[in-house]
Amino acid sequence: MAEFTLELNDDQKQVRDWLHGFAADVIRPAASEWDEREETPWPIIQEAAKVGIYSLDFYAQQFFDPTGLGIPMAMEELFWGDAGIALSIVGTGLAAVGVLANGTEEQIGTWIPQMYGDADDVKVAAFCSSEPDAGSDVASMRTRAVYDQAKDEWVLNGTKTWATNGGIANVHVVVAVVDPELGSKGHASFIVPPDTPGLSQGQKFKKHGIRASHTAEVVLEDVRVPGHCLLGGKEKLDQRLARARERAASGGERVKNAAMATFEASRPAVGAMAVGTARAAYEVALDYAKTRTQFGRPIIDNQGVAFQLADMRTRIDAARLLVWRASWMATTGKPFESAEGSMSKLYASETAKKVTAQAIQILGGNGFTREYPVERMHRDAAIYTIFEGTSEIQRLVIARTLSGMPIR
């Protein structure tokens, strides 16, 4: 078990500096253009693939870092570059993790390479869970998957929303209801292979922020996928459903939802994204305050500005420490007895919103224009308090964990 430390080792520093260089030299110069275009930045993804950042191998190396700091460190540096482009680069990882967590070795070996493609022909993947009437309330999911035993096929019908890369993905991972009576415990995940009839892109959302990341609805109309596209296989699903029915019959609704436990472990990565955006805005504001003169002196000499910068830096460092603690706990198997994963995501998300707003204030009228990046960073920061569980949901999870109430 790795000892907890706040000092990155030499290998981690080398990776951090490499990512920072890519973010500074490739992502940042393109950020404004792709934000305005509101399109997937395929050339940037291809550049990331060429150097090895857009690949399963890279994320696997960071995920298996024994200190737990590989993923949050990578997320912070990439999102320091630009949140929209960075999400386009890491968004495929959502689907890949879904397969890694639930799939068989054969499914992992078959589908994950197709999610990424290669440097000459990059692909993306989409994880489709949220629905128009089922965001935080996953038990309200309506997309159905019905097994056609005669053909050994699953038939999927429904509409997914807020899907990163939805409709443009080579591979879609779709969460659907297989047993409505079991609520959130009656769900299963399915691979929808490339060019499967019946899957189409619905509305593409024109968003407030992270506009370089493609977000859309995914419509499933009698989508037929082979039986082997059920992640984990039917035998494993039947066993899991049988256990869920037994728990429900014996008052098992008080058993903690396994999906919620998974989200709790993954939320620090989103917190790290928020830290990266907050840090970027803070650095712009700090540099501006040192060089902008009013009344014959730099504005950082004014306490009203200096104290804001002090608070911004303090919050950023505190957020990073919460993210690192939760990531270390997840890697070393320490239980989140106080919902430390949600704590890190909550505080980092709120920090990103506050710090980017303060950065605009320090830049004054310039901060309100698109000539300076803090305006874009502030728009991007709004998403962190919404996706992967809203701030209100994080507080609910923390409160219920502290009180001993079940998390459904």
Q: What is the pLDDT of residues 40-62, one digit of tens each?
A: 999 999 999 999 999 989 988 99
Picking from 72, 8, 74, the residue whose alpha carbon sits closest to that of residue 324 is 72
List beta partners, residue 298. Answer: 293
At 133 the pLDDT is 84
In whole angstroms, give the CA distance from residue 218 to residue 13.
Answer: 40
Q: Are residues 168 and 44 in the same domain?
A: no
Residue 23 lies in a domain: yes
Q: Which of 76, 217, 264, 388 is catalytic?
A: 388
Cα atoms found within 13 Å of the Cα of residue 391, Cβ hemisphere only: 14
Residue 3 counted as domain residue: no
Residue 398: inside a domain, yes or no?
yes
Active site residue 131: no
In a domain, 322, yes or no: yes
Same domain, 186 and 148: yes
Q: What is the CATH number of the domain that holds 52?
A: 1.10.540.10
Same domain for 130 and 182, yes or no, is yes
Establish if 2 belongs to a structural domain.
no
Domain termination residue (choose one: 63, 95, 122): 122
Model confidence pLDDT, tens digit, residues 262-307: 556 678 999 999 999 999 999 999 999 999 999 999 999 999 999 9
Q: Do 132 and 245 sit in the same domain of this protein?
A: yes
pLDDT for 5 beyond 50: yes
Task: Indicate if 65 and 140 belong to the same structural domain.
Answer: no
Q: What integer pLDDT is reported at residue 264 of this predicted model?
A: 60
* Predicted local distance difference test score (pLDDT) of residue 250: 74
Report yes or no on 221 lying in a domain: yes
Same domain for 347 and 225: no
**Does the pLDDT at position 258 exceed 60?**
no
Q: What is the mean pLDDT of the chain?
A: 92
Of 105, 122, 139, the one marking the end of a domain is 122
Q: pLDDT band at 388, cuts 50/70/90?
A: confident
Instruction: Supply the pLDDT for residue 259.
Output: 46
- The torsion region of residue 253 among left (phi > 0), alpha (psi -120 to 50) and beta comes to alpha
pLDDT at 363 over 70: yes
Q: Please state, as a whole number, how many other Cβ atoms lie within 10 Å of the Cβ of residue 197.
A: 9
- Domain count across the chain: 3
Q: Are residues 154 and 237 in the same domain?
A: yes
Instruction: Based on the fold, state whether residues 83 and 114 are members of the same structural domain.
Output: yes
Q: How many Cα neighbours within 13 Å face the side chain of 138? A: 21
Residues 205, 312, single domain; the answer is no
- Mark whether 100 and 229 lie in a shared domain: no
Residue 296 and residue 242 share a domain? no
Answer yes or no: do 21 and 63 share one domain.
yes
Cα–Cα distance for residue pair 316/332, rounded to 1 Å: 24
In terms of residue numbers, what domain contains 305? 258-403
Q: What is the pLDDT of residue 407?
A: 64
* For residues 195-208, average pLDDT: 97
Q: What is the pLDDT, as a whole number, of residue 223? A: 98
Q: Give the end of a domain, one of 94, 122, 150.
A: 122
Q: Find the mean pLDDT for residues 14-24.
A: 98
Indicate which CATH number applies to the domain containing 177. Answer: 2.40.110.10
pLDDT at 123: 97
The CATH number linked to 321 is 1.20.140.10
* pLDDT > 90? residue 169: yes
Paired with 218 in beta bridges are 160, 201
Instruction: Evaluate whether residue 1 is within a structural domain.
Output: no
- The reply to whether 4 falls in a domain is no
pLDDT tens digit sequence for 220-254? 999 999 999 999 999 999 999 998 888 877 765 54
